[in-house]
Amino acid sequence: MGEETTVAPAGLGAQAAELLSELIRLDTVNPPGNEEPAQELLASRLTDAGFECSLLAAEPGRPNLVARLPGEVEGETLCLLGHVDTVPADASEWSFDPWSGEIVDGEIRGRGAQDMKGQVAAEVAAVTELARDGWRPARGELKLVATADEEKGAAIGAAWLCAQHPDAVRADLVVNEGGGYAFELGERRFYSLAVGEKGVSRFVLRARGTAGHASIPGLGENALLRLAPALARLGEQPPLEPSPVGVEFLSTLLDEDLGDADPRALEGAVERLRSLSPKLVELLAEPMLRVTLVPTRIRASEKANVIPSKAEVLVDCRVPPGGGADQARARAEVVLGPLADGLEIEFMKETVGNRSPFESPLADAIAAWLAEADPGASLVPVVMPGFSDSHWFRKAFDAATVYGFCPQRTLGLFEAQLLVHGADERAAVADLELAAGFYFDLCRRVLQ
């Protein structure tokens, strides 16, 4: 990867902001999705700039967009990835119309501004500006992939694309969502680089008893009451445990070498970070360094006057990359203690998390841009506690390096996290300008 770069043109941020406004006004709440109008808008912009565009759909009205800009000679493929569907929005909880797309006081308002139409708009603005000016990769190929259905599991989005159309979306280097949020610790500024996602190992925790009429409590054995102590235990979380990314994260922020840290040393490091920034521990450090167990749904008697013979709770369990149901079960048994012997654990379909290495030429290219855009700032690796389309690209293309990175500083980590899936979602025009400039620069660095 080369080192020469060209400063992004003035007005690129305004182009991204205008496109984001248009995307927000196209309601793509999933379900039902209805992503087609948004994909057609993007395809039109990209085609006019010189991209070869395809709309690939597993279901009518819900296509995925694949745009290609081939280079002069063979080389690596860089893919800028994003999704255009959003979660719902309850307008009664917002102070403005969730689908207005208005630009007020330097912010674009509406559902999807953060997750993740803002990033898609910045990506498209950057690559169309490059292509319209006649730029083409000197080697390799540039792809832009905008998916459907990410918010509901990607069954007709990225997962389907990677399984049914792998050649269309195959890439060596992928940049997606999940990282790039700025935060400060002391006098230093960091930008997160999402190198992986935790896996999902949801399970049902079940207690059994004996049914009876609710008017005579002594006639039955209430399964719900047997389950209650376990619910209380789930308020605790398993112990911290070392993970490569979590240890690197702590080492970078604390400026300490924690490479051989045992669980006790890890606990001490987390407490030192907590004393500096409790929010960083809550949002990033602890989720990365443990299996998390969160009860989300409970079910017992179907009738108001029947003592339940069965009671169960659904536990949303997230496991660090590479771990699965066995690790989840072991950590659940630690938390439940002796209660585990009298309960049943039934796992649902699991997805094992994955990650890319933090050290790579792509990370070097991102760091080089950052050194120019925000001198003195540093990259720090993170694993997303949630899930993204990055997982499917790593799973399908073993050799691919897949990161989440969309830089934003005006609305940094702590502000943005409250807006993702929340009320009054919005993005700063200044952050769109920063992000569009990054994608403009990255394409030239990687594909020249």
**Catalytic (active-site) positions:** 85, 150
Return the axis-axis angle of helices 244-254 and 263-276, rounded to nearest 10°.
Answer: 40
CB 108 within 8 A of CB 17: yes
d(CA 23, CA 36): 11
Q: How far are the Cα atoms of 98, 107, 294 from residue 101, in angstroms, in the given order? A: 8, 10, 34
Burial zone of 57 (CB within 10 Å; 0-12 exposed, 13-18 middle, 19+ buried) = middle
The sign of the torsion formed by the CA atoms of 361, 362, 367, 368 equals positive
Q: How far are the Cα atoms of 230, 281, 319 from residue 240, in angstroms, in the given order? A: 20, 12, 12
Q: How far are the Cα atoms of 143, 161, 355, 435, 447 from residue 167, in angstroms, in the given order? A: 12, 9, 22, 28, 19
